[in-house]
C-alpha cells in the first residue's frame, strides 16, 4: 500500500494576541547569575473556534526560581489564528477535531517566539531583565500531544 500525503493549500494569519495576565511576585534574594536559576513551566490549551474559523491557543508560563522553590512571575496569553479554508484543514472527528501535526508545530513555533518577546519586554527593569530565555523544542509538544 502506498502512503500518500494529501497536500492542503490554505492561508493562515494571526488574528489576535492578548496578554490575559502578567504577574510578578515579591520573592527573596537568589543567585540570578546561575545559568539554570529559572525553571520555565508551561501549559497550553487549544480551542477550536469553528464559527469564526479560528484556532485559539491559550498559554500559561510560570517562572520558578529553583533556589527558592518559589515563583517569580506568570504570563497568561491567548493567540488566535485565522485559517482559510477552515474545514479543509481542521477536520471534525466524532466529538473532537483533527489538526495536522505540522500545523500545530508551526503554531507552537510562532507562539514560543511571541512568548519570548513578551517576556523580554515584561521583565525589563527586573532582576531577570538579562535572563536568556531557553529555546523551546516544539517537537516535544507534538510528542506530548501524541501521548495524550
What local confidence, expressed as pLDDT, does residue 2 receive? 45
144/148 Cα distance (integer angstroms): 7
Residue 131 sits in a domain whose CATH number is 3.10.420.10
Domain-located, residue 5: no
Query: Based on the structure, what is the number of domains in the chain?
Result: 1
Tens digit of pLDDT at every position of the chain (148 positions): 444 556 778 899 999 999 999 999 988 888 877 778 888 888 889 999 999 999 999 999 999 999 899 999 999 999 999 999 999 999 988 888 999 888 988 898 899 889 989 999 999 988 888 777 766 666 665 565 554 4
H/E stretch holding 93 = strand 91-93
What local confidence, expressed as pLDDT, does residue 58 receive? 95
What local confidence, expressed as pLDDT, does residue 1 receive? 41
Domain-located, residue 4: no
H/E stretch holding 120 = helix 101-122
Domain-located, residue 47: yes
Domain-located, residue 109: yes
Cβ(114)–Cβ(17) under 8 Å?
Answer: yes
Per the structure, the complete domain to which residue 74 belongs is given by: 11-147
Domain-located, residue 64: yes
What local confidence, expressed as pLDDT, does residue 134 receive? 67
Domain-located, residue 6: no
Q: Which of 98, 103, 115, 105 lies closest to 43, judged by CA?
A: 115
Domain-located, residue 3: no
Q: Which of 94, 105, 112 lies closest to 139, judged by CA?
A: 105
User: What's the Rg (C-alpha) of the chain?
Assistant: 18
Domain-located, residue 131: yes
Amino acid at each position: 500500500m502506498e502512503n500518500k500525503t494529501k497536500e492542503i493549500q490554505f492561508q493562515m494569519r494571526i488574528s489576535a494576541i492578548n496578554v490575559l495576565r502578567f504577574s510578578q511576585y515579591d520573592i527573596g534574594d537568589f543567585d540570578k547569575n546561575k545559568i539554570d536559576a529559572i525553571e520555565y513551566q508551561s501549559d497550553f490549551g487549544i480551542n477550536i473556534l469553528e464559527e469564526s474559523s479560528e484556532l485559539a491557543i491559550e498559554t500559561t508560563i510560570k517562572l520558578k526560581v529553583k533556589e527558592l522553590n518559589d515563583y517569580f512571575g506568570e504570563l497568561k496569553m491567548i493567540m488566535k489564528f485565522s485559517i482559510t479554508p477552515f474545514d479543509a484543514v481542521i477536520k471534525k472527528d466524532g466529538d473532537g477535531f483533527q489538526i495536522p501535526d505540522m500545523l500545530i508545530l508551526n503554531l507552537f513555533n510562532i507562539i514560543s517566539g511571541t512568548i519570548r518577546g513578551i517576556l523580554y519586554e515584561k521583565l525589563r527593569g527586573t532582576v531577570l531583565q538579562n535572563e536568556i530565555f531557553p529555546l523551546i523544542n516544539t517537537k516535544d509538544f507534538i510528542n506530548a500531544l501524541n501521548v495524550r
